[in-house]
Amino acid sequence: MSPDGLNSFRAGPDETGRFGLFGGRYVAETLMPLILEVEQAYHDARKDPEFLRLMDYYLAHYVGRPSPLYFAERLTEHLGGAKIYFKRDELNHTGSHKANNVLGQVLLAKRMGKTRIIAETGAGQHGVATATFCALFDIPCVIYMGATDVERQAPNVARMKLLGAEVRPVTSGSQTLKDAMNEGLRDWVAHVHDTYYVIGTAAGPHPYPEMVRDFQSVIGRETREQIMAAEGRLPDTLIACIGGGSNAIGIFHPFLDDKDVEMFGVEAAGRGVDTGEHAAAIGGGTPGVLHGNRTYLLQDDDGQIVEAHSISAGLDYPGIGPEHSWLAQQGRVKYVNATDDEALEAFQTCAKLEGIIPALEPAHALAFVLRWAGKQPKEKLVVMNMCGRGDKDVFAVAERLGMPI
């Protein structure tokens, strides 16, 4: 495997924001000067010891890092194959890996002198994280959320409001994450001078895919140290769910040049990739341009974006981060998928066996673990990123299972 003739899978993006064919800066001219300003500000910030000190401080004392690497003994026993660890990013403050990225971007926004924050959210995890740091740093914030998601993720809507954010339901298009992102871009175009847009996943125009990946890579760096301490060697396999792909790139990236570490990204297959009702951009999409970057997308023959479907609002997105598209094309990461039903099954299995209620998003990664790990040798070391907790999903799952509450 040779990454596009480069020596490393970790060198991207290039100075134009590309990972091979993918990535770039496909935004309206009004936003372009601002995008370049964000890029410059980020490249300055990451070299600034004070910025890095603040990151470390809040990650340790506020987010609660490092998150544990936990040997899932009962699940391992139940499946009878590979030895399974969970990287427990669901224990972060705000309940998911999203805090890692939002902290970095809100500190950057402050550094840039921006006085207003906007964000899009699907499941509400990114919105909650953004509302949280905006409360902490006293910055007004507006969260765009598809009207469909406002309904199915009601607990997170309440959380955001309690944290002082204004939640604006988006009723255009399919009323989910992609439309919330369109609305975020529209807001930003109209408020370029004072507003910073905190994008929640490793997608969007350059520098977002790179910046979000860097902030999320703390997951992989910790995993590396923790597995060395626990097992004295690197893992054989990493597994993470993928919507836009920020938790996955966060755990994968520090290991990309360790050629013996195999990686699986698990996309949401919804009702099945064959049914057309899914959110598997790599599994069932083709390259295109949306939301500022070139990447794999669900689209029709005319280049119109097709609505995604997943039981998980956080994976219900017709695209994927551009670095994943490149890693797929290079064959470095294998992209697989799990259906709504498989994720629901995994959700329940994890709760019963490990006493951990996962979010529906990592339940997709777990679903792949359930179907795959039992066939692997016992010596095989696997780390799955448990990127969010399922409190927000409890009511929706109970309803789906016909459970009286």
Q: Which positions lie near another protein, rule CB under 8 A?
A: 16, 24-34, 172-173, 178-179, 181-182, 185-186, 189-190, 192-193, 288-292, 297, 299, 301-305
Instruction: Provide, rounded to whole angstroms, the least separation between the CB of residue 305 and another protein.
Output: 4
Instruction: Provide, rounded to whole angstroms, the least separation between the CB of residue 115 and another protein.
Output: 16
d(CA 269, CA 104): 31
Instruction: Provide, rounded to whole angstroms, the least separation between the CB of residue 113 and another protein.
Output: 16
Burial class of residue 78, CB neighbours in 10 A (0-12, 13-18, 19+):
middle
The token duo for 158 is 């309440």
Nearer to another protein, 301 or 379 (CB): 301
Nearer to another protein, 182 or 348 (CB): 182
Q: At what angle do helices 322-330 and 208-216 cross, to 10 degrees?
A: 80
Nearer to another protein, 29 or 274 (CB): 29
Instruction: Provide, rounded to whole angstroms, the least separation between the CB of residue 19 and another protein.
Output: 15
Instruction: Provide, rounded to whole angstroms, the least separation between the CB of residue 320 and another protein.
Output: 15
User: Read out DSSP for 16-49?
Assistant: TSEETTEEEEE--TTTHHHHHHHHHHHHHHTT-H
Instruction: Provide, rounded to whole angstroms, the least separation between the CB of residue 30 and another protein.
Output: 4
d(CA 233, CA 276): 41
Asked if residues 278 and 270 have their Cβ atoms less than 8 Å apart, the reply is yes
Nearer to another protein, 63 or 185 (CB): 185
Nearer to another protein, 48 or 194 (CB): 194
Nearer to another protein, 116 or 186 (CB): 186
Instruction: Provide, rounded to whole angstroms, the least separation between the CB of residue 241 and another protein.
Output: 24
Instruction: Provide, rounded to whole angstroms, the least separation between the CB of residue 22 and another protein.
Output: 12
The token duo for 337 is 């998928």
| Angle at alpha carbon of residue 337, lines to 245 and 147, rounded to 5° | 60
Instruction: Provide, rounded to whole angstroms, the least separation between the CB of residue 191 and another protein.
Output: 8
Burial class of residue 274, CB neighbours in 10 A (0-12, 13-18, 19+):
exposed
Nearer to another protein, 204 or 358 (CB): 204
Name residue, tokens 């300003």: 37
Nearer to another protein, 38 or 248 (CB): 38
Name residue, tokens 């004295």: 232
d(CA 171, CA 179): 8
Estimate to the nearest angstrom the gap between the alpha carbon of 280 and the chain centroid: 14
Asked if residues 239 and 85 have their Cβ atoms less than 8 Å apart, the reply is no
User: Read out DSSP for 59-111?
Assistant: IIIII-PSPPEEE-HHHHHHHTSSEEEEE-GGGSTTSBTHHHHHHHHHHHHHH
84: β partners: 382
- Alpha helices, DSSP H only, in 260-315? 281-284
Pairing assessment for the beta strands 381-385 and 83-87 based on DSSP bridges: parallel
Instruction: Provide, rounded to whole angstroms, the least separation between the CB of residue 17 and another protein.
Output: 9
Nearer to another protein, 183 or 222 (CB): 183
